[in-house]
Amino acid sequence: MTQTENAPVGRLGDHELPPDFPELPRPLGPVEPAMRRSPGEEARTLVAATNVASLATLTEDGHPWASLVTYGALLDGSPVLLVSRLAEHGRNLARDARASLVVAAEPRGRDPLAKGRVTLTGHVERPENEDVARDVHLKAVPTASAYAPFGDFSLWVLRVEQVRWVGGYGVMDWADAGSYATSEPDPVASAADYAVGHMNDDHPDALLAMAVAFSGHTDATAARCTGADRYGLDLMVSTPRGKAPARVGFAQRVDEGDGLRQATIELTRRARAEA
Amino acid sequence: MTQTENAPVGRLGDHELPPDFPELPRPLGPVEPAMRRSPGEEARTLVAATNVASLATLTEDGHPWASLVTYGALLDGSPVLLVSRLAEHGRNLARDARASLVVAAEPRGRDPLAKGRVTLTGHVERPENEDVARDVHLKAVPTASAYAPFGDFSLWVLRVEQVRWVGGYGVMDWADAGSYATSEPDPVASAADYAVGHMNDDHPDALLAMAVAFSGHTDATAARCTGADRYGLDLMVSTPRGKAPARVGFAQRVDEGDGLRQATIELTRRARAEA
């Protein structure tokens, strides 16, 4: 089991709230447990979704150095970099193998920190198999074929030792290196944004039914979908007592990229059957 | 003078090219000198264009740590961060003031490394004036007003000591901290993408006239605009001998955000008068 079972949580975690900060409305009825992606799955999903990241390395005098890089990922999620000795980070890695990579989700909405990102730290090393590493990088970064033959570029594999996932405000967790290596990127990730928009635009009644049936907010008056993944949907539920985040889960994990629609239809049916 | 005077340069700089790498066609006639933004101006322009960056800090055991942050900038370009003690980077900065920030331009086209980015390194310190620093951050990151009052968030100012600008392949330079602090963000930056598209879509003849008159590629058959700034335009010039990058400069620096169109019209007139 790589996933974790979570009741919906307040999205403010351990932040130190001012005394007058409004409390989130609490569920009035039972909350149906809903699965979420594990931190390892969140990390692998973010890493699989793009090919650009920021790298932290160490300069000769031990100062941190931030720079932009492209990457592909091996089957175990280890990022493969192709960097030039002309770049500071290329010289830094050749001198000191300690490195950290942050991969961020595409911004959604106007708040850059409401989106997910993951920090991977570890040591870089030359690839065991240069050809495999080069192919993985070039598949993820097709434009790299223009400079891959240049003599100043080298392949590096980041052996991931620590994984810190941040999902948004107060939503963060560690994944161990083993769980990162064996977790699977979410196959429905690329379909999620469309699904979220479609549910909000065309099926607000279905979302409200889910909120009433499963989130414990039995007085819900509306619900917006804020996220979708292979295990279920994230909702923001409006009640006369204020708005609260909630999680509603599919009966079964979705294993196919095009399975999100069917799972959402089944969840809606189940919600309406409870009404 | 913060700008530098540059003849057009090959965009491959010091890369180690394979022996069979095609040479760029050389100018056949005189090349009109054209101004460019200085590295300090490039850096300030990138920093002014967005509010999201990646931060490199040091963990307790001296390992580099990459993370996502938002920022505003003081009048001298010093980035102002607002970070939580709940985040690793918040604890890192409180323990070790050494930091580095990379700010990247929005991707344009399919090559993530063809765009500009800048690395700023230095030490963070508490702001001299908390109110000014908070206002600067909140103006750049309006959504921060939701968590600015939380007790776990602190303001930090990055005192910039080193500036490394990378404009694309082989185009990179250092700016000293003084030049960074006194340089001005390019006032036409936000209009540049539109201007580039408009010139390519509607005025290919004007671009060709500029290339023939000013770039030394007197056999040019076409030219595409690849960049626009307060000092001039970047072109990719097609000749029967291959394609070559070129720079064509305005007679005067543009000082107003809406001055790009007029400067381009005047450059076109001047090019046609030379024909």
Q: Each residue of A225-248: pLDDT tens digit?
A: 999 999 999 999 999 999 999 999
Q: Note the Cα B24 to chain centre separation in Å.
A: 24
Q: What is the mean pLDDT of chain B?
A: 92
A210 near A8, Cβ under 8 Å?
no
| Gap between the Cα atoms of A7 and A26, Å rounded | 12
Buried/exposed B50-88: b ≥16 CB within 10 Å, e otherwise? ebbbbbbbbbeeebbbbbbbbbbbbeebbbbbbbbbbbb
Rounded mean pLDDT of B172-201?
96
B140 near B70, Cβ under 8 Å?
yes
Put simply, the answer to whether A64 touches B99 (Cβ < 8 Å) is yes
Q: Among all chains, which residue has been given the structure tokens 């941040």? A: A166
What per-residue confidence (pLDDT) applies to A81? 98
From the list A92, A104, A227, A198, the residue with the least C-alpha distance to A154 is A92
A-facing residues of B in 153-212 (CB < 8 A) are: 164, 166, 169-170, 172
Whether pLDDT at B265 is above 50: yes
What per-residue confidence (pLDDT) applies to B111? 83
Q: Among all chains, which residue has been given the structure tokens 């990102």? A: A117
For domain A188-274, give the CATH superfamily.
Answer: PNP-oxidase-like (3.20.180.10)
pLDDT 10s digits, B86-136:
899 999 999 999 999 999 987 666 788 888 999 999 999 999 999 999 999
Q: Note the Cα B52 to chain centre separation in Å.
A: 15
Angle at B173 between CA B216 and CA A107, to 5 degrees: 105
**pTM metric for this prediction:** 0.91
Q: Note the Cα A209 to chain centre separation in Å.
A: 27
| Gap between the Cα atoms of B160 and B79, Å rounded | 8
Put simply, the answer to whether A164 touches B98 (Cβ < 8 Å) is no
**Using alpha carbons only, how large is chain B's radius of gyration in Å?**
21
What per-residue confidence (pLDDT) applies to B174? 94
What per-residue confidence (pLDDT) applies to B7? 36
Put simply, the answer to whether B100 touches A63 (Cβ < 8 Å) is yes
* 2.30.110.10, 3.40.50.720, 3.40.50.700, 3.40.630.30: CATH of A41-182: 2.30.110.10
From chain A, pick out residues whose CB is under 8 angstroms from the CB of B143: 110-114
Query: CA nearest B116 in A: which residue?
Result: A68
Whether pLDDT at B38 is above 80: yes
Percent of chain B whose pLDDT exceeds 70: 94
Put simply, the answer to whether B64 touches A121 (Cβ < 8 Å) is yes
This model of the complex carries an ipTM of 0.91
From chain B, pick out residues whose CB is under 8 angstroms from the CB of A60: none
What per-residue confidence (pLDDT) applies to B20? 79
A271 near A212, Cβ under 8 Å?
yes
Torsion angle in degrees (nearest 10) through CA of A53, A58, A63, A67: -20
Put simply, the answer to whether A68 touches B16 (Cβ < 8 Å) is no
Q: Min CA distance, A271 vs chain B (Å)?
A: 33
275 residues of chain A, pLDDT tens digit each: 333 444 334 456 677 888 877 788 999 999 999 999 999 999 999 999 999 999 999 999 999 999 999 999 999 999 999 999 989 999 999 999 999 999 998 766 678 888 899 999 999 999 999 999 999 999 999 999 988 988 899 999 999 999 999 988 778 899 999 999 999 999 999 999 999 999 999 999 999 999 999 999 999 999 999 999 999 999 999 999 999 999 999 999 999 989 999 999 999 999 999 87
What per-residue confidence (pLDDT) applies to B108? 64
A21 near A260, Cβ under 8 Å?
no
Q: Among all chains, which residue has been given the structure tokens 């694309």? A: B168
What per-residue confidence (pLDDT) applies to B12? 64
Put simply, the answer to whether B102 touches A54 (Cβ < 8 Å) is yes
H/E stretch holding A205 reads: helix A204-214
Q: Which of A68, A84, A100 is the closest to B104 by Cβ?
A: A68
CB of B101 less than 8 A from some CB of A: yes
Q: Where are chain B's structural domains?
A: 41-182, 188-274
Q: Min CA distance, B253 vs chain A (Å)?
A: 30
Torsion angle in degrees (nearest 10) through CA of A180, A186, A190, A192: -120
A204 near A197, Cβ under 8 Å?
no
Tokens of A153: 């570029």
